[in-house]
Amino acid sequence: MARLVFDIETSQLPLDTFDEAQLEYLFRDAAKLPDPAASEKRRAEIQQQFNLWPFTARVVCIAMLNAESARGQTLYLADDFEGEDAPDGPVEFVQCVDEAELLTAFWDVARHYDSIVTFNGRGFDVPFIYLRSAQLNVPISRKDWLGYRYAVEPHCDLAEQLTFYGVSGRDGAARKFNLDFYCKAFGIESPKSHGVTGLDVNTLMAEARYREIAEYCLRDVRATVLLYQMWKERLAGIK
């Protein structure tokens, strides 16, 4: 069975993308604070969260690998689009001129896979790309990835599996950790070890360092593949 492992990177949309009513709605909590300094701080905190929402951010990169062969593609936006790009071993880097092209290319690949593996994909990556695709009228080739939560087909979300579907809540033995923490715990090289994290994506986009975003996203996926292999060998089947 062919399994696709993937991860996305997102970047917030400029504030001038939104009209006055939308901005009032987005920053309403900040406007309620009477202290100007506290209000400005809260406004900055809200804007930091824009990357998490598909109506305030866009997909700027998707890295994907075949779980068995480790071959794949990394699709990423590049305003200085040059077409060809240097591969990274068995992974092809593909520059895209806009988000619609990136998502179209992703769904063209996705249609060939029976199932997917993600880390927190049920809570973030999958709904994000569904909603962004819908906004841009990009046809979605796989609409079954949110499916039944308590199953690993067609979507094995490792964040769900390593917490046993949240059995311990926020603070118990199986509480949820981030990918970096799980990697270090299981002896896998962390994708953060090269000094780039998801918090850097907005800055890297602004500085036109697009390939660095793509390489970071690919490191996330390679780490997820190794974490999936560990889970499959040691933990799969626990109910």
Domain definitions of the chain by residue range: 3-10+57-234, 19-55
Instruction: Give the whole-angstrom CA distance, residue 115 versus residue 37.
Output: 48
Instruction: Give the whole-angstrom CA distance, residue 153 versus residue 33.
Output: 46
- Structure pTM? 0.95
Model pLDDT for residues 139-168, shown as the tens digit of each residue: 999 999 998 999 999 999 999 999 999 999
Query: Does the N-terminal peptide bond of residue 154 adopt cis geometry, omega within 30 degrees of 0?
Result: yes
Instruction: Give the whole-angstrom CA distance, residue 35 versus residue 29.
Output: 12
Per-residue pLDDT of the chain (239 residues; tens, 9 = 90+): 789 999 999 999 999 999 999 999 999 999 999 999 999 999 999 999 999 999 999 999 999 999 999 999 999 999 876 656 777 789 999 999 999 999 999 999 999 999 999 999 999 999 999 999 999 999 999 999 998 999 999 999 999 999 999 999 989 999 999 999 999 999 999 988 887 888 899 999 999 999 999 999 999 999 999 999 999 999 999 87
Instruction: Give the whole-angstrom CA distance, residue 109 versus residue 112.
Output: 6
- Report yes or no: 107 and 139 within 8 Å, Cβ to Cβ: yes
Q: Which residues contact 80 (CB under 8 A, 6 or more apart)?
A: 208, 210
Q: Name the amino acid, one letter, at 27.
A: F
In degrees, to the nearest 5, what angle opens at C-alpha 74 toward C-alphas 71 and 75? 140
Instruction: Say if strands 91-96 and 155-157 run parallel, antiparallel, or are unpaired.
Output: unpaired
Helices (runs of H) and strands (runs of E) counted in the chain: 9, 6
Q: What are phi and psi of 65, to 5 degrees?
A: -135, 145
DSSP-derived secondary structure letter, 14: P
Assigned CATH topology for domain 3-10+57-234:
Nucleotidyltransferase; domain 5 (3.30.420)
User: Other C-beta atoms within 10 Å of 223: how many?
Assistant: 24
